[in-house]
A = this chain, B = another copy of it.
Amino acid sequence: MLTRSAEYAVRALSLLAVRQGAGSLRAAEIADELGLPPQFLTKILRRLTATGLVSSQRGRAGGFRLDRPAEEIALLEVVEPFQEGMEGVECLLGQRNCSDRAACPLHEPMEKIRRAFHDVLAGTTLAEVAPRAVRNRGPSSTRPMHALPSRGDR
């Protein structure tokens, strides 16, 4: 339902939100903590700096931090840059003139679903999600076994 990049973005920014007090976080740090591919995550973070959600600092003590408080960041903003084409879903039946006077039987329920999806993302802030998105590395700080590579996850 979401692209993987979008999911990574939500999780990374959640970590930024939780650790906000500690200044900025390095990409490698975030990737390690969440078990994500570091190089790929770096690219995602760069795209998020381009959209203005986070700002970055280069060099020795560099890293990423949220540009706004997490309470003011909707998940939709986080997800949007990686979810191109989600909004432009045409009618299931391929109509051009579907939404006008004669909507297909699927049109209304599908539209409702799309709108529900949109509203959930628009109505949930990063602050609401962040605590849960971060504290799932197991009860203690010992590394659990759910981050093993085994990349073949269909």
- Chain A residues in the interface with B (C-beta under 8 A): 1-2, 7, 10-11, 14, 34, 75, 84-85, 89, 92-98, 102, 104-106, 109-110, 112-114, 116-117, 120, 124, 128-129, 132-133, 136, 138, 144, 146, 154
Whether B154 lies near A1 (C-beta < 8 A) is: no
State how many copies of this chain the complex holds.
2
Docked complex Cα distance between A133 and B90 (Å): 13
Chain B residues closer than 8 Å to A136, beta-carbon distance: 93-98
Docked complex Cα distance between A109 and B123 (Å): 11
Whether B93 lies near A129 (C-beta < 8 A) is: yes
- State whether A116 and B114 are in contact (beta carbons under 8 Å apart), knowing that A92-B2, A133-B94 are contacts in the complex: no
